[in-house]
Amino acid sequence: MDKKTFIPIFQNDDGAGSAVWYTSEYLDNNYDLQLVDIIKKTKPKAVNKYTDQEYTEILREQVPDNFCLYPFTHFQLDPDGRARPCCKYKVGDPTWQKDVPKLPDVNLDDLWNQDEFQSLRDQFLRNERPTGCKACWDEEAAGMKSMRLVREQGGKEHPHATFYHHIPRLYPKTLDLKLSNLCNLKCRICTPFLSSQWINEIKILEVNDMGDHSTFVSNSREKFSANPENEEILKTWAKTIDFMEFYGGEPLMQQEHDDILKIMVEHGNPSTTGLYYNTNTTICKEELFKIWQPFKEVYINFSIDDIEKRFEYQRYNAIWNESLDNIQKYKELAIKHNVNMPLRLYVTVGILNVLYLKEFVERMKPLGIPILFNMVHYPHHYSIVNLPTKVKDVVKEKLLAIDFGNLLDPYSPTIDNITNFMYGSESNPELLKTFFHKTKIHDEFRKDSFSETFPELYELLKDYELT
């Protein structure tokens, strides 16, 4: 579905609901819906008049069960200049890096209206399940509330807004900007696609299964400003954007980040716009708080998956005590500069840390910061689905013993969700072999030791290393 289809509809809107009528006709004719019929029945003078609540319920039934709002409302920019509808779309699919439009060869508007997005919109309106959305389908099969469902229950929460605001929306409502892979850490669950620190290591080790080395080098260069059209496009988009996410690399190292926020302050509505960051806890600069002050809220997710030596192993180059100090600084500077700043611990659950989550929760409780879990999907060999069944049983027992108090974030997968996800697929022996192989070569390069840093986990897994 081409968003530009709706331009004449909005241009012809006489303020008396014609945009709703013409949008309904278009969607009915192209996607076999019954929106026009619903409008006729709910007109004030109609004999069969419905209340607003009844109208909403009838309209909700028209939203396809597999529908997702992301391709209609959200725009994600990757470090290589590609765009996706969300961060989990085709995650871990290296073939998708080829033959797609990218910055700076095209502009933001070209990416928003590219064929890939149009095809996805069509599929969701036809109640299909796109294969590129496997991550969400897998999480839903485990009983989790996937990204698709978190966003307005897949469009069913506010069906009038879905059909008459979001689907015909000419510009994105939310942005996710990964401006480059510039980063100061080499996290085990990361790749050179998202961290510049990885590039030299995989080159020396001659690791060739992570993608094209030249792409990773290119990813270190920010591309938004390379095409001067993008600044003008963002000025147009700014008026309708109400939420912006910044990831990395490390987002607080991106040079274009500050320039983009200045555009939002001057041309958008910062007092009604939220910002959202995943940061690795190594950077806390007071000048950033001055930039953030005009915005409605600034969510800071601290990417911390474990404690002490295990944290430093998984988030290589980070120092545990410095990270704790920075968390405290965020609290203090938010108060000093009057920034509305909700904080969360963003814990990515994979093979390396799942056994230790109980210890992690107990250690972090005194901070009083909500905990939000996220599942590793890629690299595939770090996913907890690949643990042998006997190991999963031990992990499950430990997980069920966790007492969060009131610190589990309402948007987080629960422990039941995590265990269901873990048991949702059989262990893949080949991926377990890959886990051991990758662990060994990077341990040797970094002078680390998996067995010494994770002795309990190693004891559970060591018998599977050579099988």
Structure token pair of residue 246: 């910044």
Report pLDDT digits (tens) over 70-124. Answer: 999 999 999 989 999 999 999 878 777 677 899 999 999 999 999 999 999 999 9
pLDDT at residue 316, rounded to an integer:
98
Phi-psi region of 409 (alpha: psi -120 to 50; beta: other; left: phi over 0): beta
Residue 408 three-state SS: strand
Closest CA to 293 of 341, 362, 356: 341
pLDDT at residue number 10: 66
CB-based contact 292:244 (threshold 8 Å): no
pLDDT for residue 117: 95
Question: How much is the average pLDDT of 389-393?
Answer: 97
From residue 400, alpha-carbon distances to 22, 327, 341, 350 in Å are: 53, 28, 31, 17
Pairing mode, strands 243-246 and 74-77: unpaired
pLDDT at residue 40 tops 90: no
pTM of the model: 0.90
Q: How far apart are the first and last CA of the chain?
A: 49
Q: What pLDDT was estimated at residue 13?
A: 57
Mean of pLDDT values over 329-344: 98
Q: Is 13 or 310 the better-scoring residue by pLDDT?
A: 310
In the chain, % of residues over pLDDT 70: 96
346: pLDDT confidence band, cut at 50, 70 and 90?
A: very high
Whole-number percent of the chain with pLDDT over 90:
83
> Of the candidates 426, 374, 380, which has an alpha carbon nearest to the alpha carbon of residue 92?
380
Kindly report, residue by residue over 407-439, the tens digit of the pLDDT: 999 999 999 999 999 999 999 999 999 999 999
Q: Residue 35 — very low, low, confident or very high, per pLDDT cuts 50/70/90?
A: very high
pLDDT for res 456: 98
Over 70: is that where the pLDDT of 330 sits?
A: yes
On the question of pLDDT at 467 being above 90, the answer is: no
Render pLDDT for 193-238 as a digit per residue (tens, 0 to 9): 899 999 999 999 999 887 777 888 888 888 999 999 999 999 999 9
Q: Residue 361's pLDDT band (boundaries 50, 70, 90)?
A: very high
Long-range contacts, stretch 165-168, CB < 8 angstroms, 24+ apart: 166/69, 166/72, 166/73, 167/1, 167/23, 167/27, 167/72, 167/121, 167/125, 168/3, 168/6, 168/9, 168/10, 168/19, 168/23
The C-alpha atoms of residue 180 and residue 162 are separated, in whole angstroms, by 32
pLDDT one-digit tens code per residue, 141-170: 989 999 999 999 999 999 999 999 999 999
Report the chain's mean pLDDT, rounded to a whole number: 93
